[in-house]
A and B are shown apart, each in its own frame.
Chain A
Amino acid sequence: MNPMEFKNYPELFEKAIIEDSDAEKIKRPSIRYWPDVWRRLKQNKLAMTGLLVIVIMIIMAAIGPMINDFSYFEQNYNQINTRPNGEYWFGTDELGRDLFTRVWYGTRYSLFIGILATVIDVTNGILYGGIAGMAGSRIDSIMMRIAEVIYSLPYLLVVILLSVVFSTQGSGTSMFVIILALSLTSWIPMSILVRGQVLQLKEAEYSLAAESLGATRGRILKKHVIPNTLGPI
Chain B
Amino acid sequence: MISLQGISKSFKVARRAAGLRQAAKSLIFREHTVVEALKDITFSIGEGEIVGYIGPNGAGKSTSIKVMSGILVPDRGSCTIKGYTPWKERTAYVGHIGVVFGQRSQLWWDVPVIDSFQLLKDIYRIPPDEYRRNLALLTETLDLGGLLETPVRQLSLGQRMRCEIAASLLHGPSVLFLDEPTIGLDAVSKLAVRDFIRTINREKGVTVILTTHDMSDIEALADRILLIGKGTLLYDGTLQQLRGRFGTERTVTVDYRGGSGQGPLVVEGAESVSWSPERAVFRVDTGKTRIADVLSRLSEQAELLDVAIEAKPVEELIVELYREHRI
Chain A bound to chain B: no
